[in-house]
Structure 1
Amino acid sequence: MSVKRLTVDYDKVNEGGSFSPGDVLSGRVTVVTTKETKVQSFLVRAKGKAEVTWCEQEGQSAVVHSDKKKYFYFEHVILQDKNKGDGSEIISSGRNVYPFTFVIPNTDMPSSYEGKWGKIAYSLRAHLTQSIWLVHKTKIEFPFLTKSEFPFASKSEMIIIGLKEQQRASRISFSASENVAINITSEKMGAKQGEATGVTAEVRNNSARPVTPKFYLVEKQTFAARSKRTVHTNEILLGEGESVPAQTGRTVTKVLSIPPQLHPTFLNCCMMKLEHRLKVRLDAPLLRNPEVKLPLVILLASPKPQRPKPKRSIWFRKLPA
């Protein structure tokens, strides 16, 4: 084993380290060998793809549903022997560095994302083949960020119009002769990562027990493989309102902070999409479906302005006494 180490890395184009459509992706492949090494081929690839996989029980057997989509694929040949496998190309002993450059296509592509049963990934891979039995591989993923402020595909126009509009929903829940009515109003439909948004719950409690409104953010992941679909949901508790006593009414207002690490809503991938909902659930025994949901679009947070570097302190000479 004359090849001791094979690595691939890239140069960052911004402080966040992410790439976007049209950016130049430059880097280098480094190979360390203990002696002169003959190789059949040596190349580096840049790839962007989405893939989904999940398993379902159908009758007596388990069926795997999977699909994938390629956004781009580039290959840069570093070394390639001319006689198809005789190992005529040689890597010298020691540390060898090979630069490469790719230009990311300037087209609409979804941001990097990893969900329950699917992933959108952008990566660099290096392959060094010494023989059919001896192949060295290495891989590194790089973060990719769409340029689209509203990555919602065909639904963008409808959603963008309502991002700043108030949203309302109502529900009445019954249990025997008791009932509880709830009206929900959210300040707006769109909120950025880390931003706060106000939600008001008007609760009329005609039951014999107190009820407590709880506020949730629901993340809905949808995956598609050809004609099959599956959904995974995740709930995040954002806050709890004041309890509403029995046979009374109360208006509860809550300011909810969107988690800054939450992935933005996106619909511009044909195999998976990520949607969000605000949900208010009444914590009350014996009530059936005491909850209301409102749509919420999570937008990418604006980049933080760069702070000027502090000036270096001035050192004064010590004057003679």
Structure 2
Amino acid sequence: MTTIKKIEITYNAINANNTFTNGDVVCGQVTVEMAKDCQIDSLYIKFKGKAEVRWTERHGQTTHVYHSKDKYFSVRQYFIRDKNSKGERLSWKHHSLNNSSVVPPGIHVYPFSFQFPHQNIPSSFKGADGKIIYLLEAVLSRSMRMDSKESIAMNFVLLSRWTCFPLINWADKKMKLFTSGTVAMDVNLEKSGFFQGEGLKVVAFIKNDSSREIKPKYCIYRKHSFFARGKRRVHTKDLIKDVGTPIPPSASENVTKVIPIPQDAEPSILNCSIIKAEHRLRVYLDVKYASDPEIKFNIFILPAPQVPAMATAPPAASDFGNAFYGNYGNPNPPMWGFGPPQAPAGSQPGGPPPNYATYGIGCEATPEHRGRPRGTQNPRCPMGPPKNGPEEISQPLRGRACGLRRQAATLKWNRPWAPGRPQGRPAPW
């Protein structure tokens, strides 16, 4: 007959999507069911976050394994502590638990609470060759036996407060085709940051001075990059494609297209050293018998604002009914965390969802900014971290064309037949 019938971890959700962010408190309980008396060396729960990458490559007869790991934090909360674990803190103020203890049969509940750090840690992620995970793991140790473990993952979303600064970027492109004429397009984005489920508005001016009809096409795709031992593994996937209204020959039109960001699109991740999750918008013209002129925009997908759920207190811990074990029915267990228990501003339960200004996006280009060299600062969109609030992730975005970007692509057809022209479309990256 098995002595330990069950070890279970449960925690209370704080919103409808069961996600956590910086400063949120995780409250829950560890439930242990015993079939008979059991002598336990230690019982604790661990709260940890890490990123890990692993993939293999075959080179001839040799298989190379590429592996890397980043550890963000690891905190233990003891319910029953082994005498050898002197450096750890007890969850309960009972000195009698410092040594091995005998737990009677029945169901025993141990409440706990942790707080997510106010650090710039990346959001939860799971990809083909890596993951970013935040875990609660309960460990029960007995003498001369394997440890009994149980774990549960939590979904963490970074509270982003990054700064957007508009830039103007022009790109010209010349190619040889089967006919004469020119094609040009000028594409504008109001901003570079978008919430899940939000509409991405694309405004383009397309000039078709050719003898053929052309179609504007749009594609939002993601790029996952994994890094280990100086190598990089890349995976790309198209998330959504759309086609605009055809432009007739010898015509110019202003085209506006709203592309919805998928509701289940994962947030962009730029603040992890071994995993990157990036998103791009690709706008191109479908030209027959030629390479399609295209313009790419780096966009940043933000998590949709969450609606807080009604928090429920964890059930009271069981009382062993013995003076040796003491009373485990404390409804307010101590909270181990990484900072003050209050949540950061803008994430209080019951408040309105944050607007774009909270995330530092939605800035528009000013007249005095036009013609400014690439990478210079717009006075209306200051760069750098705010004086108050959690650490930003604006640094990885600097040097890129964020916010309003204008690019142009021009085609010139010189002669009916152009030997040696490139075949097919260029690579997406």
TM-score tier after normalising by the smaller chain length: 0.7 to 0.9
With the length of structure 1 as denominator, give the TM-score of the two structures.
Answer: 0.79
Residue identity matched to 2:35: T
Q: Describe the shift of the 1:302–1:11 C-alpha distance in structure 2 as closer, same or farther (beyond 3 A).
A: closer
The answer to whether structure 1 residue 64 and structure 2 residue 65 are counterparts is yes
Per-residue Cα deviation, 1:190-238 (whole angstroms, up to 9, x for no partner): 2222222322344455666543222110212222224222222111234
Residue identity matched to 1:7: E
The answer to whether structure 1 residue 139 and structure 2 residue 151 are counterparts is yes
Highest relative contact order (Cα 8 Å, sep 6+), 1 or 2? 2
With the length of structure 2 as denominator, give the TM-score of the two structures.
Answer: 0.61
User: What's the CA shift for 1:279?
Assistant: 0.5
Local SS of the residue matching 1:67: strand
Matches within 5 A, 1:123-134: 123-134=135-146
The answer to whether structure 1 residue 257 and structure 2 residue 269 are counterparts is no
The answer to whether structure 1 residue 185 and structure 2 residue 176 are counterparts is no
- Partner residue of 1:313? none
Residue identity matched to 2:38: T
User: What's the CA shift for 1:118?
Assistant: 1.7
Residue identity matched to 2:135: S
Q: Describe the shift of the 1:172–1:70 C-alpha distance in structure 2 as closer, same or farther (beyond 3 A).
A: same
Local SS of the residue matching 1:175: coil
User: What's the CA shift for 1:178?
Assistant: 5.3
Q: Describe the shift of the 1:21–1:254 C-alpha distance in structure 2 as closer, same or farther (beyond 3 A).
A: closer
User: What's the CA shift for 1:278?
Assistant: 0.9
Q: Describe the shift of the 1:277–1:263 C-alpha distance in structure 2 as closer, same or farther (beyond 3 A).
A: same
User: What's the CA shift for 1:135?
Assistant: 2.9
Q: Describe the shift of the 1:210–1:102 C-alpha distance in structure 2 as closer, same or farther (beyond 3 A).
A: same
Matches within 5 A, 1:211-250: 211-245=214-248, 250=253
Q: Which runs of 5+ in 1 are unaligned?
A: 151-156, 309-321
Residue identity matched to 2:65: V
User: What's the CA shift for 1:100?
Assistant: 1.9
Local SS of the residue matching 1:161: coil
Per-residue Cα deviation, 1:244-293 (whole angstroms, up to 9, x for no partner): 34565554321112222222223111111222211123334432244321
User: What's the CA shift for 1:299?
Assistant: 2.8
Matches within 5 A, 1:1-321: 1-82=2-83, 88-150=100-162, 160-162=164-166, 171-177=173-179, 181-190=183-192, 191-205=194-208, 209-245=212-248, 250-303=253-306
Residue identity matched to 1:95: I
Residue identity matched to 1:111: S
Q: Describe the shift of the 1:101–1:192 C-alpha distance in structure 2 as closer, same or farther (beyond 3 A).
A: closer
CA distance in 1 between partners of 2:223 and 2:181 (Å): 29
Per-residue Cα deviation, 1:106-144 (whole angstroms, up to 9, x for no partner): 222111122232211111001123344443211101121
CA contact under 8 A between 2:17 and 2:306: conserved in structure 1?
A: no
CA distance in 2 between partners of 1:5 and 1:117 (Å): 32
Q: CA RMSD in A?
A: 3.1
Greater shift, 136-145 or 244-253, is seen at: 244-253
Which one has a larger percent strand, Structure 1 or Structure 2?
Answer: 1
Residue identity matched to 1:143: N
Residue identity matched to 2:157: L
User: What's the CA shift for 1:50?
Assistant: 0.8
Q: Describe the shift of the 1:288–1:56 C-alpha distance in structure 2 as closer, same or farther (beyond 3 A).
A: farther
User: What's the CA shift for 1:307?
Assistant: 10
CA contact under 8 A between 2:181 and 2:211: conserved in structure 1?
A: no
CA distance in 2 between partners of 1:37 and 1:182 (Å): 78
Local SS of the residue matching 1:143: strand
Residue identity matched to 2:185: N
CA distance in 1 between partners of 2:279 and 2:215 (Å): 23
